Chain A
């Protein structure tokens, strides 16, 4: 049971850190994809969407190679003084960010596309510089999309299994997340413990989604188009 609590806390921590990083990376990416006319737009969009269709084991396999001590990312990370990435919490964070990227980029990108250029141009001619325009116009008018992206990213990371298994393994308190703990319980036919963890995950996921849909309805009163 202690191990289950640790797994639960680890999962929540992983989801929270990944969501924070995801928002950081996804926002400029979504901004660029929403307004660029570059010929790189389609390839980048396709690459971001890959985790939607790839089996998590495929993604996990490539990540394992890339993050390993001999892999391009892993060796660079090591040269910079970082510890090993595979079978570590840091590795899980990297994996989660890549795995959940489309779930965060796509709603935010849709928000920026819906926003259009007009409000930003109006703000510019009123004297607002680029950073000012982002925080005073783009962000408040797409807050709904940011919330949707954050929640989807968080919830999706909560339920991650295949990628974690490939690059994180199953080290208690370090890389053993809830979905893997449940799998272990089922393997050992401990259905009671599996029930408990699965129920908690179900409840958390439902509560988070409920929060989104409830706030979404309230916000719909003020048009955001």
Chain B
């Protein structure tokens, strides 16, 4: 029932112009990232059918939602694309239960797969069912809105900065809930955010937007390696690797993980056999031509230089290949010159810090 998105959209709102070509796979989470004002939310509103003046075309699976040239425009309530907005206000005249039932009652029978009890359990809102939305905290309101959207049986779930107006403890909690939720639900998810960390946590695919256009799009790992289309703050450039926990050293409290480029050692205990996302920032990697001996750095891996970006800037970025896994390293222009780092050079990667994504 779910489908891939294929859209070509144009919309002018005042001085802003959206002119975006978007492709998103029919499963998993696609994060739409970019600075504020880059048109992420407008793109999402067009997909949901909330911008009646949008031009272009939208195909979802084998359906046409919009084909402006032929005068086709499926209204929002027939698209089956539920939206969770940034300041998702539950309906004030209904209780929390009433809000959830609002979605459930309008869910076509054929798509009724989730039970109210399951969803309230996953999102930890069962105790709130008889409350009025007016007395809920920001995080609670957001969880109610997410549950309401899920219960409407959407074929596409659209989230527009759902965590942006929350404080950081609430954000961390919901982020974790969302990750578990997206793993359970079959429909594709489009997740708009300006926070790189949310995309790194949740996304399988990434669409990078800038000034109303799609600058890059593809699998998360690939996009993170694109130093020419960075998303998030410049200091946040980095990569993620998928790794499996294979051992734990009791004496030093160190966990050993295996990934396609070798082994990683991280302080702390993780569950054996678990697969985790590990984020390694470009500024936390240093390169050396010789294997460092007697170093305090735990993770030293042999690699080969693949490419150098921004060689003329003060802090160029070097892409290295660890035998199947690529990483980005930020070095100084002087190091680049003294070490003669060029494509094909053999180096040792020293990873100063890694972040295990919860």
Contact = CB atoms under 8 A, between A and B. Distances in A.
Interface string A72-98: 000000000000000000000000000
B75 interface: yes
Contacts of B148: 126
A124 B50 contact: yes
Nearest to B134: A223
B82 interface: yes
B77 interface: yes
A137 B91 contact: yes
Contacts of A119: 89, 91-92
B132 A121 contact: no
B132 A127 contact: no
Interface stretch (B101-109, B207-215, B304-312): B101-109
A225 B88 CA distance: 14
Contact of B149 (A126, A130, A225): A126
> For A121, A126, A137, which residue has the most chain B Cβ atoms within 10 angstroms?
A126
Contacts of B49: 124-125
Secondary structure type dominating chain B contacts: loop
A141 B85 contact: no
B76 interface: yes
B73 to A, nearest CB: 13
B138 interface: no
The binding surface of chain A is classed by DSSP as: helix
A125 B82 contact: yes
B81 interface: yes
B134 A222 contact: yes
Contacts of A130: 77
A143 B49 CA distance: 28
B134 A126 contact: no
Contacts of B158: 125
Given A118-B87, A125-B79, A126-B152, 20 more contacts: A118-B89, A121-B50, A121-B83, A122-B88, A123-B91, A124-B77, A125-B49, A125-B50, A125-B76, A125-B81, A126-B102, A126-B149, A127-B107, A129-B75, A129-B77, A130-B77, A222-B93, A222-B132, A224-B92, A224-B93
The 6 closest A-B pairs by CB, nearest first: A127-B106, A124-B76, A125-B83, A140-B93, A126-B152, A124-B77
